Amino acid sequence: MLMVIFEFTVKSGKSQSYFELVESMRRQVENVDGFLGVERFQSCSDKNKFISVSKWRDEGAIREWGGQKEHKKVQEIGKKEIFDSFSLREVEVLREKSFSL
């Protein structure tokens, strides 16, 4: 399994715009063979800072998503209108352990 960690800061007042863009892309990413899910977290100390962690079966699935025309279009909107900064990391999960009651 691979994870993509997208850490970003939105411009002041642009959080809602970001979430609207994400929602508009939800069906497309969910239809990518190999997409396993995504979770988003907001910083406790900076309301404009977020981390999105998506899970993928393999690198091919990540490349398929990254290459979709509509996804590229939304990325450009984000760069021009929404983000102050961002970083993107692709990581391989070497081991996974979990616990629940």
In the chain, domain spans = 2-92
**39-75 per-position pLDDT tens digit:** 999 999 999 999 999 999 999 999 999 999 999 999 9
State residue 2's pLDDT score: 98
Query: pTM of the full predicted structure?
Result: 0.90
Mean pLDDT of 23-37: 96
Q: How confident is the model at residue 4 (pLDDT cuts 50, 70, 90)?
A: very high
SS (H, E, C) 48-95: CEEEEEEEECCHHHHHHHHHCHHHHHHHHHHHHHHEEEEEEEEEECCC
CATH number of 2-92: 3.30.70.100
